[in-house]
């Protein structure tokens, strides 16, 4: 890990950007946000995973570990290229509320618009799409074929497909591939535009001094092109069903634990193959991002698994992960990388040892700090410089929401420790606490800068409803707000 100089940034996912088409995308709203970051004196923009989301809309449960989400494609480019007319877009509802995402409408209607654009563009783009397909064959063939077959089964999980299609590269599947090139290349088309538009946006940010922090989920979805095409890399039985799935044991936040449901890796098989899948995944991630946050880092040292079909995560067991062997191989193959380790949760001495071995900075969440009766490693005075402090993450309440739910003891301690005052604003006092800390990098969600409450929370772990919905009001990105953020950033030399 190359040292991060003392700096700061803002956490906001692409989906939360303002714009006219139902969900944030790589269009005008993204470029305006980069301009806002520059005005505010920031150096980092952190986002969530960019993969194509499925049931539940979670960016941590994607149809591919490599592909990008077609929802983020800017439709204005298709208007400019005459692949769509403005009237085409106006004919489809994409969302009724500008501050909330209606994923059902986006799924139904944005995908229809992308198909209309493809039908108009495909004859003139044959060579470009073929070249892109060849360049990205290692993952794109599996993804495009997977999504094409999925469409023919009305979107059902691959575990529910007919047997001849569940078996990767069966004779029937290869026949399907030959006979359905148009549907397959629709998905190639989405990845071509996703990649091109993202690269253009990232270049715009980098040229203005903004670095992008991406996010890598440790696991892949059960319903993904990865599990379908590479079952040998997962703990899957002869019927292609997972033997065990991922989760987290019961804790103060969840009586039943967290049942994530992702298939568990077959780490022995991965080791036999020289961890090539992981090398390819991380190498590709650094084509997209400047820095990479790895979610649930502790799972590489030890992970909680429960039997497939369990109703919750209570009855599971801890299992040893690959640990240092994996990261030694990554360093040998890819060199020193700008990785941030999400080391929250039950952090054992073995996990601390792995973190020290890698040299990756860990995370400190300010909301976790204010136990009035004991010492906490999340209190700013205890931070190492090689760490990243957050007021909160996408899984936490906003600061204003936290203040409503905190115990009296926690609240009073936070007020005293951070010297919170109503004139400054309690949310700004939390941000000041993060920005003034010794941590080399400080990050706060956009919601905290705006002082928003529970209505703007991004995700509540272990819940299925009302997550990933919040969108920014473009009018909130004022020069006054940028000036205030910039002033705080200068004071604390970030």
- List per-residue pLDDT tens for the chain, 494 residues long: 567 899 999 999 999 999 999 999 999 999 999 999 999 999 999 999 999 998 899 999 999 999 999 999 999 999 999 999 999 999 999 988 889 999 999 999 999 999 999 999 999 999 999 999 999 999 999 999 999 999 999 999 999 999 999 999 999 999 999 999 999 999 999 999 999 999 999 999 999 999 999 999 999 999 999 999 999 999 999 999 999 999 988 877 678 888 999 999 999 999 999 999 999 999 999 999 999 999 999 999 999 999 999 999 999 999 999 999 999 999 999 999 999 999 998 788 999 999 999 999 999 999 999 999 888 999 999 999 999 999 999 999 999 999 999 999 999 999 999 999 999 999 999 999 999 999 999 999 999 999 999 999 999 987 888 999 999 999 999 999 999 999 999 999 99
Residue 2 falls within a domain, yes or no? no
Catalytically active residues, by annotation: 295, 342, 395
**CA 69 to each of CA 76, 330, 344, 479: distance values in angstroms, whole numbers, following the listed order:** 17, 26, 27, 31
Range of the domain at 43: 7-222+266-303+321-491
Residue 298 falls within a domain, yes or no? yes
DSSP label at residue 78:
H
Residue 259 falls within a domain, yes or no? no
Residue 247 falls within a domain, yes or no? no
Q: Is 485 exposed, middle or buried (CB count within 10 Å of its CB: 0-12, 13-18, 19+)?
A: buried
CATH number at residue 345: 3.20.20.80
| Predicted TM-score (pTM) of this structure | 0.97
Round to whole Å and give the CA distance between 478 and 473. Answer: 11
Round to whole Å and give the CA distance between 134 and 130. Answer: 6
Round to whole Å and give the CA distance between 316 and 305. Answer: 5
Residue 256 falls within a domain, yes or no? no
Q: What angle do CA 68, 471, 366 make, to 5 degrees?
A: 90
Residue 81 falls within a domain, yes or no? yes
Residue 132 falls within a domain, yes or no? yes
How many structural domains comprise the chain?
1
Residue 239 falls within a domain, yes or no? no
Round to whole Å and give the CA distance between 140 and 188. Answer: 7
β strands within 373-456, DSSP E:
387-390, 441-445
């Amino acid at each position: 890990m190359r040292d991060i100089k003392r700096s700061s940034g803002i956490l906001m996912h692409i989906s939360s950007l303002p714009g006219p088409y139902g969900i944030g995308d790589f269009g005008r709203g993204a470029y305006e946000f980069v301009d806002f970051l520059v005005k505010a004196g920031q150096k980092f923009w952190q986002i969530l995973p960019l993969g194509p989301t499925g049931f539940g809309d979670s960016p941590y449960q994607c149809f591919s570990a490599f592909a990008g989400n077609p929802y983020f494609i800017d439709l204005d480019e298709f208007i400019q290229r005459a692949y769509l007319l403005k009237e085409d877009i106006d004919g489809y509802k994409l969302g009724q509320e500008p501050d909330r995402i209606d994923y059902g409408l986006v799924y139904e209607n944005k995908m229809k618009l992308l198909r209309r654009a493809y039908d108009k563009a495909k004859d003139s783009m044959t060579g470009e799409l073929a070249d892109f397909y060849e360049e990205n064959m290692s993952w794109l063939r599996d993804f495009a074929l997977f999504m094409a077959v999925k469409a023919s089964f009305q979107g059902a999980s691959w575990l529910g497909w007919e047997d001849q299609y569940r078996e990767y590269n069966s004779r029937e599947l290869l026949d399907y591939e030959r006979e359905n090139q148009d549907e397959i290349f629709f998905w190639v088309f989405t990845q071509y535009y996703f990649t091109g538009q993202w690269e253009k946006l990232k270049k715009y940010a980098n040229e203005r001094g903004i670095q992008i922090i991406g996010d890598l989920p440790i696991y892949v979805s059960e319903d993904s092109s990865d599990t379908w095409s590479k079952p040998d890399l997962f703990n899957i039985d002869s019927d292609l069903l997972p033997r065990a799935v991922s989760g987290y044991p019961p804790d103060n936040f969840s009586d039943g634990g967290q049942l994530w449901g992702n298939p568990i890796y077959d780490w022995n098989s991965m080791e036999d193959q020289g961890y090539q899948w992981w090398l390819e995944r991380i190498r590709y991630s650094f084509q997209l991002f400047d820095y990479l946050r790895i979610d649930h880092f502790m799972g590489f040292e030890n992970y909680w698994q429960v039997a497939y079909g369990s109703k919750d995560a209570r009855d599971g067991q801890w299992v040893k992960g690959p640990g240092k062997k994996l990261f030694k191989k990554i360093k040998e193959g890819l060199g020193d990388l700008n990785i941030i380790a999400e080391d929250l949760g039950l952090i054992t001495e073995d996990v601390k040892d792995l973190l020290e071995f890698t040299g990756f900075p860990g995370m400190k969440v300010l909301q976790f700090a204010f136990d009035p009766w004991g010492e906490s490693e999340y209190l700013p005075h205890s931070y190492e410089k090689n760490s990243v402090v957050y007021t909160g993450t996408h899984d936490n309440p906003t600061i204003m929401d936290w203040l409503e739910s905190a115990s009296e003891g926690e609240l009073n301690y936070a007020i005293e420790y951070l010297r919170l005052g109503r004139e400054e604003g309690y949310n700004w006092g939390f941000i000041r606490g993060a920005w003034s800390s010794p941590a080399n990098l400080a990050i706060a969600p956009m919601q905290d800068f705006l002082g928003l409450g529970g209505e703007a929370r991004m995700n509540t772990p272990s819940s299925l409803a009302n997550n990933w919905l919040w969108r920014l009001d473009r009018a909130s990105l004022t020069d006054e707000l940028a000036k205030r953020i910039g002033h705080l950033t200068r004071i604390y030399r970030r």
